[in-house]
Structure 1
Amino acid sequence: MERVGIIQMTSGPDIEKNLDFIAEQCVLAAEQGVKLVLTPENAVLFANREAYHQYAETLGEGPIQLRLSAIAKQNQLTLIIGSMPIKTEQGVTTTTLVFSAQGERIAQYDKLHMFDVDVADGHGSYRESDAFCAGNQIVTAETNIGTLGLSICYDVRFPELYKALRLAGAEMIVVPAAFTAVTGQAHWEVLLRARAIENQCWILASGQTGTHPCGRQTWGHSMVIDPWGQIHAQLHEQVGLLVTEIDLSHSQQVRQNMPLTQHSRFQNKLKRKPKS
């Protein structure tokens, strides 16, 4: 059994305030013996295009990444930052960063699927591609508790990605998110449970929640789902820390009893990045 922590937040444009909240929750997690902590999408900055581009950091450089590395090291846990803006030659990406318990960045994943949709809420139209450029690699990482597959929010609607992560050896897959209240109520739980069942993986999902300073409303309901598709633990709309234990041997048993990958008659054709 391995103890994991999920941080649920209502992030805003104040980076220091967001970082302080993450640091506080990681201290609480470490006190409870947690080995791996996940934060939501846009955890360190929840704002607009101008702010994302203004505060984007080059990978491996900048005060935000330095602080995150220190938080992981000080608390001796793997810290997964759901996403933050990273500056590249092609533009700005929204990127998951994984820091080891020693404070080293061991993996990064640029969100593949941009949320360019119309939603029947107060915001109305979302065009993520106006702020970010999409990634082009599938990423797994070796952590202190097992092999981790990386995804972000809107990715959860594309099962091909999760199948590729499973085939790449993922035992658990993270889904940091900022689901809208409307789409979250309709689809969040069912999509997460489907991805767990299809791939016989643990799903660790961390959501933004509540009304943000920019006026956007997000769904929350962070949860951990086991490889049989059962909700193992969850929060609802409150901010804070969810701590639970997962048993990776459960995945092995489910896969042995129902060998989906052996029965599948489809070939996986997605490229993937080698394990970090």
Structure 2
Amino acid sequence: MTRFTAAAIQMCSGTNPEKNAETLDRLVRKAAGKGAQYVQTPEMTGAVQKDRAGLRAVLKGEADDIIVRTAAALAGELGIHLHIGSTAIALEGDMIANRAFLFGPGGGLVTRYDKIHMFDVDLDNGESWRESAVYRPGETAVIARLPFAAIGMGICYDVRFPDLFSAYGLAGAEVLTAPAAFTRQTGLAHWHMLQRARAIENGAYMISAAQAGTHEDGRETFGHSIIIAPWGRVLAEAGDTGEAVIVAEIDTDAVAAARGKVPNLKNIRPFTLAEVGA
């Protein structure tokens, strides 16, 4: 049995990485003050900026990124595992990485993860997004095996691809993550169902910190940062606007219990697909 306290930080990041780093510092300290040993921030912690030129103008490479530096220092000072849900990192050429970072209690980098699935959609309200035009998709799923739990890493739109999360469940991940900047429209329709489904399907905890509210660039994000137990029960949830720090106790025995009741990961069977016509 392993028990630990997890926190999800809700933000409304603006276009200035330095200001967002100050917010990050303040909220992570608040989470650590609540006893959190694992702290997660939302997708695009460093900058929410839909203008591509404006975003590129403020980005740095990983070695010079202020969010990366701030997070490493905080993890080391506070003695926590700090998971930056993602921040935009400048790559060679014109492309950007939507990259998550996980730092350990000594301040060292445990691992990084680049968002695999690109949000290329046209919504009913006229919103149109083409992440693939800006971001280079990741190619590698990542499990971080921490002293207290194995954590499967995802980012936002990844949550709509259950095969990624079942791969984590099959590999023994006890905690799944999808830190996000969900649009308000898609969040209202699908956020809670998707988060609970990934937890239930895999008998795992689901922790997803979120962006929330109306941002400087005019974007609206759904919020509702959430922590869900393996049986699908919501343990903690933030509201739909503004900053928040939510915490919950994680007990890995609950993962074993859920998987024992409904062992669907063990019951997966190969099959063929037949197509017939009348």
| TM-score between the two structures when normalised by the length of structure 1 | 0.91
For residues 196-241 of structure 1, what are the alpha-carbon distances to aligned partners after superposition, in whole Å with 9 as ceiling and x for unaligned? 1111110001111000011110000111011111111111123121
Report the AA paired with residue 35 of structure 2.
Answer: G
Alignment partner, residue 270 of structure 2: 266
- Give me the CA root mean square deviation: 1.6
Which structure would you say has the larger Rg?
Answer: 2
Report the AA paired with residue 262 of structure 2.
Answer: M
* 1:160 pairs with one of 163, 175, 189: 163
Report the AA paired with residue 179 of structure 2.
Answer: P
* 1:126 pairs with one of 129, 151, 155: 129
Alignment partner, residue 275 of structure 2: none
Distance 1:164 1:58, change over 3 A: same
After TM superposition, the structure 1 stretch with the greater mean CA deviation from structure 2, 154-163 or 252-261, is: 252-261
Equivalent residues of 2:87, 2:98 under 8 A apart? yes
Say if 2:253 is the partner of 1:249. Answer: yes
Report the AA paired with residue 212 of structure 2.
Answer: T
After TM superposition, the structure 1 stretch with the greater mean CA deviation from structure 2, 133-142 or 123-132, is: 123-132
Deviation at 1:89, TM superposition (A): 4.7
Alignment partner, residue 173 of structure 2: 170
Alignment partner, residue 229 of structure 1: 232
Stretches of structure 2 lacking an aligned partner (at least 5 in a row): 272-278
Alignment partner, residue 15 of structure 2: 13
| TM-score between the two structures when normalised by the length of structure 2 | 0.91
For residues 140-180 of structure 1, what are the alpha-carbon distances to aligned partners after superposition, in whole Å with 9 as ceiling and x for unaligned? 11224211000000011110100111122211011110100
Deviation at 1:60, TM superposition (A): 4.2
Equivalent residues of 2:76, 2:105 under 8 A apart? yes
Say if 2:106 is the partner of 1:102. Answer: yes
Cα distance in 1, alignment partners of residues 175 and 6 from structure 2: 11
In the alignment of these two chains, the number of paired residues is: 266
Cα distance in 1, alignment partners of residues 61 and 37 from structure 2: 27
Alignment partner, residue 49 of structure 1: 52
Equivalent residues of 2:204, 2:229 under 8 A apart? yes
Alignment partner, residue 196 of structure 2: 193
Report the AA paired with residue 38 of structure 2.
Answer: L
Report the AA paired with residue 18 of structure 1.
Answer: N
SS for the counterpart of 1:236 is: coil
SS for the counterpart of 2:265 is: helix
Equivalent residues of 1:26, 1:75 under 8 A apart? no
Identity of aligned residues (%): 37
Cα distance in 2, alignment partners of residues 64 and 205 from structure 1: 19
